[in-house]
Amino acid sequence: MHYNFPTVFVFIDSYNEEYIRKLNKKIAIIYRNYSINYDKELIIEIRNTCKRHKIKFFLANNLRLATNLDLDGVYLPSFNKSLNISKTNMKKNFLIIGSAHTVQEIKNKELQGASAIFLAPLFKAQKNNSFLNPIKFNFLSLHTATKIVALGGITAKNLKRLRVTKSYGFAGISYFKNNNDKKIKI
């Protein structure tokens, strides 16, 4: 469907050119910071850095800004249930990705046109004691033909456990923050 669709995604909430430069080119960036209003100039700066380093760049929960700034796509979190998504202003290779925790949310992401759905949280994370585990994750993934990406609680220690899931790839926050001092590989 999409050529060179990323298999690994990293969430960032601030801009750090050196951090982006260290990322493997196969890793896509999702800028997500719900505590501030998006600064258009900052988004442009991140976009330009990503283009220079040939890294795909997604903006969380702002379809209009992502299309206006010619980003690679938009990430729609599970709480975004809007079905008013018009693909008329999107470039051909613009991607919609989103997160889900339940079958109902998976179906909603399909209706929104998601090319990939992030199921979360797969493993126990610091901020959440509730998690799917690989068995529940695989069960939920049976409810869609859309690419499924594992999210939540992924560490270097449990990264190998992804092999028993039906995930297309994985996404993380702390996994990458804990490995930011060296060239990150996938």
Three-state DSSP at 91 gives coil
Task: Give, in order, the Cα–Cα distances in Å from 75 to each of 63, 107, 124, 139.
Answer: 8, 16, 22, 23
All residues at 6 or more sequence positions from 160 whose CB lies less than 8 Å from its CB, including other chains: none
Asked if pLDDT for residue 145 goes beyond 50, the answer is yes
Lowest mean pLDDT among 35-44, 56-65, 81-90, 153-162: 81-90
Three-state DSSP at 178 gives coil
pTM of the model: 0.90
Residue tagged 């869609």 (tokens): 144
Over residues 95-133, the pLDDT tens digits come to 999 999 999 999 999 999 999 999 988 888 776 667 888
| Per-residue pLDDT, 1 | 45
Over residues 38-67, the pLDDT tens digits come to 999 999 999 999 999 999 999 999 999 999
17, 38 contact by CB (below 8 A): no
Distance CA(41)–CA(168), nearest Å, equals 33
DSSP-derived secondary structure letter, 75: E
| Per-residue pLDDT, 8 | 94
Q: 178 falls in which pLDDT band (50, 70, 90)?
A: low
Asked if pLDDT for residue 169 goes beyond 60, the answer is yes
168, 147 contact by CB (below 8 A): yes
- What CATH number was assigned to the domain covering residues 8-177? 3.20.20.70
The reply to whether omega before 77 is within 30° of 0 (cis) is no
Strand partners, 116: 97, 147
Higher-confidence residue: 167 or 3? Answer: 167
Asked if pLDDT for residue 87 goes beyond 90, the answer is no
Q: 33 falls in which pLDDT band (50, 70, 90)?
A: very high
